[in-house]
Amino acid sequence: MRVEFLGGVRTVTGSATLLEKGSSKWLVDCGMFQGGKDLEGRNWNLQPYQAGKLSFILLTHAHIDHSGLIPKLVKEGFRGKVICTKATLELCEVMLQDSGHIQEMEAEWQNRKGRRAGKDEAIPLYTMEDAGKCLQYFETVKYDEMLDLTAGVKVRFQDAGHILGSAIIEIWIEDGGEKKKMIFSGDLGNFDQPILRDPSVVEEGDVLWLESTYGDRLHKTKEETVEELLKIIQEAIAHQAKVVIPAFAVERTQDIIYTVGQFIRKGSIPSVPVYIDSPLAISATEIFKRNSDCFDQETKDLLLGGENPLEIPGIIYTRTTEESKAINEDPRPGIIVSASGMCDSGRIQHHLKHHLWREESHIVIIGYQAEGTVGRRMVDGAKMVKLFGEEIAVKAHIHTLGGFSAHADQKGLLNWLSHIRNPRLEVFINHGEEKISMKLGQLIGEQFHLKATVPQWREKKVLFGGIESVVPGEEVKEEFPPGEPSSVLFNHLDRTYKRLRRKLKRGKKSGEGFKEHWLRELEQVQKKLEELEKDL
């Protein structure tokens, strides 16, 4: 079993892991890189993803940092299956097309600038049409259903409680006579958040990919966060001002609708206009309404009682640009929820341009702000930010409310991990900024005495099931870079030898005896060492 870390390592975006068992290859997630030129440059070279040779993409959830490169991969020859939950498929339908639209707009904008500078024509990463085409490869799976993926590989999706349809993916693999279980945490949900269930508990596994977005901090509780939001809205109403909330179209927007709805229902605030200014968020809200089986008990009870927590008095959905522009002409105090969540594209930028310089306005940050984004600069206290090429002064109140996060905090992550009862569990920390992933890895080592590592981008590893990676041939050339092939190969063989010796010892101790294939593997190592000796 070989793996290659293609993305989402030492960064929060671009989640993708390539798994190879013999000649069978598949991906877990296929996310787009976002946040700066260097990272985004990776979106253009998908050669390491081996599009034409992949049989499957197992998709944890619909967020673009997990699904955003699927249309590009299909463009490059992927003809396998994308496996995900029904809600993920429905969300991908709107989110990938929206992403295609953004790519087209960006290319158009580049071209407008580029033509004046005499540059070559920019092409979009993929178009809306490409995004539409990729959907034919999607197949859905139910939560908790055991799926035979291919010979010797079983897969199960469990609720990750992160966004609608999100999943933790468990993979059971038989390879070279060994049976192992891998777990991909995907993005793990925050506990006790509105609408969704808490993340499912997993108790067994040998290798774990654990996300670490908030691996270095603790969120405030839901009660504190809700209380804080209430105070902000009350203050804004008292000053006839507006509250602007940049929110991811999926989940955070619906959480805000749910929470503000509760304020109005309980009479904590009067019925003020609540603008949902994002066509994507509007479509996503419709998808939420269709997938109520994914809701937690509290929300299901509300529905049973005849209340729709996603329909609140005063809510105004704005689809067209004209409607969107009209919002800022409305003199009444109110709430504007718009995307993108990290403020670096979309309609939210217009609202920020309109409100950031006003002292009475409130900007409420509720989601993760990646390095290099406009949202991050505001959170970090910038006095000026650039929007549409114009410097805008930041005078509005900027609030950060962690409790609405779609991600578990440090405590949540460690608590979730603590349920896996395997003292030899190997942990790969992903989906986090480098320092944060390192910190979480260190903590896991200290508290659980587990081997936790933070992989490098494009790092390859042989996890278990033999040493096929050292069989001579094309793949060896890829695996061992020119320059010092012998020492890399030697180290690899040395590690394999030690691993087999440990297995033999363990087998002897536990009375299992030794297994036939271990001997074959030892023979292969020996043969390879002899060859190497000749070369040297």
Q: How far apart are CA 243 and CA 272, in angstroms?
A: 11
Q: Using CB under 5 A, count the residues that bind Zn ion.
A: 3
Gap between the terminal Cα atoms of the chain: 29
Stretch that binds Zn ion, among 63-71, 191-199, 315-323, 409-417 (CB under 5 A): 63-71
Phi, psi (degrees; rounded to nearest 5) at 11 = -160, 165
Contact 457, 7 (CB under 8 A): yes
Beta strand residue intervals within 46-161, DSSP E: 54-58, 81-84, 138-140, 146-150, 153-159
- For 410-445, give one letter per residue: b (16+ CB within 10 A) or e: bebbbebbeebeeeebbbbbbbbbeebbbbbbebbe
Place of tokens 């050292």: 470
Q: How far is the CB of 253 from Zn ion (least distance, A)?
A: 14
Stretch that binds Zn ion, among 20-28, 57-65, 307-315, 440-448 (CB under 5 A): 57-65
Q: How far is the CB of 160 from Zn ion (least distance, A)?
A: 9
Instruction: Report if residue 159 touches Zn ion, rule: CB under 5 A.
Output: no
Is 199 or 466 the residue whose CB approaches Zn ion more closely? Answer: 199
Q: How far is the CB of 530 from Zn ion (least distance, A)?
A: 47
Is 49 or 263 the residue whose CB approaches Zn ion more closely? Answer: 49
Place of tokens 């777990």: 183
Is 65 or 104 the residue whose CB approaches Zn ion more closely? Answer: 65
Give start and end residues of each alpha helix (H) in 170-296. Answer: 222-238, 252-266, 279-290
Amino acid at residue number 419: H
Q: Which of 2, 21, 42, 63 binds Zn ion (CB under 5 A)?
A: 63
Q: How far is the CB of 170 from Zn ion (least distance, A)?
A: 18
Contact 465, 471 (CB under 8 A): no
Name 460's bridge partners.
4
Q: Which of helix, strand or coil describes residue 206?
A: coil
Q: How far is the CB of 166 from Zn ion (least distance, A)?
A: 7
Is 94 or 489 the residue whose CB approaches Zn ion more closely? Answer: 94
Instruction: Report if residue 528 touches Zn ion, rule: CB under 5 A.
Output: no
Q: How far is the CB of 342 from Zn ion (least distance, A)?
A: 12
Is 63 or 355 the residue whose CB approaches Zn ion more closely? Answer: 63
Stretch that binds Zn ion, among 59-67, 276-284, 287-295, 491-499 (CB under 5 A): 59-67
Q: How far is the CB of 374 from Zn ion (least distance, A)?
A: 19
Span 442-501, contacts to Zn ion by CB under 5 A: none
Amino acid at residue number 448: F
Give CA separation, 536 vs 377, 476, 478, 490, 530, in Å.
Answer: 55, 17, 20, 11, 10
CA dihedral 518, 524, 525, 531 (to 10 degrees): 170
Q: How far is the CB of 186 from Zn ion (least distance, A)?
A: 8
Q: How far is the CB of 206 from Zn ion (least distance, A)?
A: 24
Contact 87, 43 (CB under 8 A): no
Q: How far is the CB of 245 from Zn ion (least distance, A)?
A: 18
Is 21 or 252 the residue whose CB approaches Zn ion more closely? Answer: 252
Q: How far is the CB of 61 from Zn ion (least distance, A)?
A: 6
Q: How far is the CB of 18 from Zn ion (least distance, A)?
A: 18
Instruction: Report if residue 65 touches Zn ion, rule: CB under 5 A.
Output: yes
Q: Which of helix, strand or coil describes residue 168?
A: strand
Is 250 or 335 the residue whose CB approaches Zn ion more closely? Answer: 250
Phi, psi (degrees; rounded to nearest 5) at 471 = -65, 130
Instruction: Report if residue 187 touches Zn ion, rule: CB under 5 A.
Output: yes
Is 127 or 437 the residue whose CB approaches Zn ion more closely? Answer: 437
Is 88 or 225 the residue whose CB approaches Zn ion more closely? Answer: 88
Contact 147, 155 (CB under 8 A): yes
Sheet arrangement for strand 460-462: 138-140, 81-84, 54-58, 24-28, 16-21, 2-7, 460-462
Stretch that binds Zn ion, among 150-158, 184-192, 198-206, 467-475 (CB under 5 A): 184-192
Place of tokens 């063989």: 493
Stretch that binds Zn ion, among 80-88, 187-195, 275-283, 298-306 (CB under 5 A): 187-195
Stretch that binds Zn ion, among 35-43, 179-187, 214-222, 380-388 (CB under 5 A): 179-187
Is 64 or 392 the residue whose CB approaches Zn ion more closely? Answer: 64
Stretch that binds Zn ion, among 65-73, 127-135, 270-278, 512-520 (CB under 5 A): 65-73
Q: How far apart are CA 439 and CA 184, in angstroms?
A: 19
Stretch that binds Zn ion, among 64-72, 100-108, 299-307, 436-444 (CB under 5 A): 64-72
Is 63 or 242 the residue whose CB approaches Zn ion more closely? Answer: 63
Q: How far apart are CA 351 and CA 343, in angstroms?
A: 10
Is 285 or 469 the residue whose CB approaches Zn ion more closely? Answer: 285
Least Cα distance to 398 among 418, 374, 414 occurs for: 374
Positions touching Zn ion (CB under 5 A) are 63, 65, 187
